[in-house]
Amino acid sequence: MSALLEVRNLTTRIQTRRGVLTIVDDVSFSLEEGECFGLVGESGSGKSMICRSILRLPPTSPALMSGRIAFEGQDLLALPDREMTRLCGRRIAMVVQDAIAALNPVLPVGRQIAEAMLEHGVAANRRDARARVLALMRKVGIPAPERRIDDYPHEFSGGMCQRVVIAAALACAPRLLLADEPTTALDVTIQDQILKLLGELQQEMRLAVLLVTHDMGVVAQSCRRVAVMYAGRIVELAETAALFDQPLHPYSAGLLSCVPSVDGAAEEATRLRPIPGGPPDIADPPEGCRFHPRCPLAIGACQSGAFPLFEVRPGRFTACIRHEELARAGNIWAEPMPAARAPEAAEAAE
């Protein structure tokens, strides 16, 4: 399969009051046609900035980016602004976390969904656009679109606003949808609806989706492949099923096992073992592997040098030089605690 999007050695810096910070550090991955690819990580890991880099949205700018972002064979970083504007919203669209803020409060939703179609000449005229908007609203599950097309964003719930934003993103039938935490602000039953809607649309329109999230459950539900980010770098990249089955980076393993689960009787007696400490300050990251200060498997060699991704098996990449030890050790983050509900023995000793 040919790659629709190919990101090679992308480094994104941004200008802040604290100087120029490297937010995305030498990141490479690719997306195939129609694929849902997950970027997972915590706040500050650089995952959202990758989306913004692809569209060259502020605070990123081509001048502070290096590497290559090839979309349908064109290098987006080298594209003149006018060409880039023609791609944005037509071939590549974006959905963000805060749908209510993403919409213009003083324009009816129908006008906002139609905007990109008229701008890019996809709709012949306003009447044509209106018919297309109604069809899109129906497609994304907005009830009674004829009655709602002239309503304003404040007349919609958060979940319905996200559907409006998705409809606007799909207006020009893009090939790539950048979805930056599209369900994080939503309630769990609405999140479930939106994820399933995205799944259907992706199938139906052969749409490639870059899904940015902090939630491994969302990745498991939606993504074929996933890249785990930590402090600006990809630390593991694999097919979702393979990564969940056997993570090959201690951080991915930690993300999977430090989160409680809604089911599984065996875990009743297990105490979560958290990843100690916190993510590093991006202005002053640790030398070597950036995860080493928090890693139970870290050795001297982890404290210096470069930690690029390497291919362990076809399609399985990790940046961890200790991945064999990790695989052998089983779950380094699990701590059997038969007395999970009664740790007073240890505490009483104090």
Partner 1 sequence: MSAAATLIEVEQLSKVYAPAGAFLKRLTGGARQRLTAVDDVSLSIRAGEILSLVGESGSGKTTLGRALLRLVEPSAGRILFRGEDLRSFAPSRMRAARRHLQMIFQDPYSALNPRMTVRQTLAEAMRVHAIHPAEEIDDRVVELLETVGLNAGQADRFPRDFSGGQRQRIGIARALSVRPAFIVADEPVSAVDVSIQAQILNLLLDLRERFDLTMLFIAHDLSVVRYVSTRVGVMYLGRIVELAPRQAIFAAPRHPYTQGLLRAAPRPDPGRRSTTVAITGEPPSALDPPSGCHFRTRCPMATALCAEARPALAEIAPDHLVACHHHAAAMAAWTGAAAPHH
Binding site for partner 1 (CB under 8 A): 42-43, 157, 159-160, 187-193, 195-196, 199-200, 214-221, 240-241, 244, 254-256, 258-265, 268, 271-276, 278-279, 342-344, 347
Torsion angles phi and psi, residue 19, rounded to 5 = 105, -165
Cis amide bond preceding 153, omega within 30: no
DSSP structure class, residue 69: E
For Cα atoms 29, 33, 36, give the angle at the middle one, nearest 5 degrees. Answer: 65
Supply the minimum distance, in Å, between the C-beta of residue 332 and partner 1. 14
User: Least distance to partner 1 from the beta carbon of 91, Å?
Assistant: 27
Q: For residues 190-204, b (16+ Cβ closer than 10 Å) or e, as one string?
A: bbebbbebbeebbee
Residue number, 117 or 160, with CB nearest to partner 1 = 160
Whichever of 64 and 197 has its CB closer to partner 1, that residue is 197
Minimum CB distance to partner 1, residue 346 (Å) = 9
d(CA 265, CA 11) in angstroms, rounded, equals 44
Pick the closer one to partner 1 by CB: 130 or 271.
Answer: 271
> Regarding beta strands 316-318 and 310-313, do their DSSP bridges make them parallel or antiparallel, or are they unpaired?
antiparallel
Smallest distance, partner 1 to C-beta of residue 237, A: 15
Q: Which of 200, 311 has the CB closer to partner 1?
A: 200
Residue 125 or residue 189: which is nearer to partner 1 going by CB?
189
| Closer CB to partner 1, 33 or 42, in the complex | 42
Closest approach, Cβ 199 to partner 1, in A, equals: 7
| CB environment 295-324: b (16+ within 10 A), e (fewer) | bebbeeebeeeebebeebeeebbbbbbbbe
Backbone angles phi, psi at 50, to 5 degrees: -65, -45
Residue type, 171: A
For the chain, the first-to-last Cα distance in angstroms comes to 61
Nearer to partner 1, 72 or 267 (CB): 267
Cβ neighbour number for residue 247 with a 10 Å cutoff: 27
User: Which residue has tokens 């899904």?
Assistant: 211
At closest approach, how far in Å is the CB of 26 from partner 1? 23
Comparison of 58 and 260: residue with beta carbon closer to partner 1: 260
Q: Least Å distance between CB 83 and partner 1?
A: 38
Minimum CB separation of residue 17 from partner 1 in Å reads 14
Q: In 3-state terms, the chain is what percent helix, strand and coil (to 5)?
A: 40, 25, 40
